[in-house]
Homo-oligomer: A and B are copies of this chain.
Amino acid sequence: MMSEGGENAPNFAGAGGLLPAIAQDAHSGQVLMLAWMNAEAYEETLRTGRAVYYSRSRQKLWRKGEESGHAQQVEAVYVDCDADTILLRVRQTGAACHEGYPTCFFREVTPQGFKVVQDRLVDPASVYKS
């Protein structure tokens, strides 16, 4: 799908192997989530056009939607000025958040404390097995 490498390429080595990757909804502009990529996840994302991250908790590649079906089709990839953050513009199927919300940023900090500012799209119990 897209080329890799070159002086502006993400500097995974300089960051101990993992860089933050932001997924933004290509249609609404909403910031959906932040996850992590290693070089393999990045390359597979470019090659397949589907967002692939690296799960720090599971310590393996995480093909977004592999369990939930809530995959992300990648429309564009950007690398920041310091080559240490990746931005994906994606078409999100279903809910980006494992809690069933459209985005992971469904809690706003307000003077009265944290406030849920989105409606759940799906019941997580219906999406994930145990």
Contact = CB atoms under 8 A, between A and B. Distances in A.
Nearest to A56: B84
A34 B85 contact: yes
Interface of A: 1-4, 6, 8-9, 20, 22, 24, 28-31, 33-34, 46, 76-82, 85, 87, 97-99, 101, 104-114, 117
7 contacts: A1-B111, A3-B110, A29-B30, A33-B80, A78-B109, A81-B98, A81-B99
A88 to B, nearest CB: 10
Grouping DSSP codes into helix (H, G, I), strand (E, B) and loop, the A interface class, with mixed when no group exceeds half, is loop
B104 A81 contact: yes
B34 A80 contact: yes
B109 A46 contact: yes
B80 A110 contact: no
Contacts of A110: 2-3
A81 B106 CA distance: 7
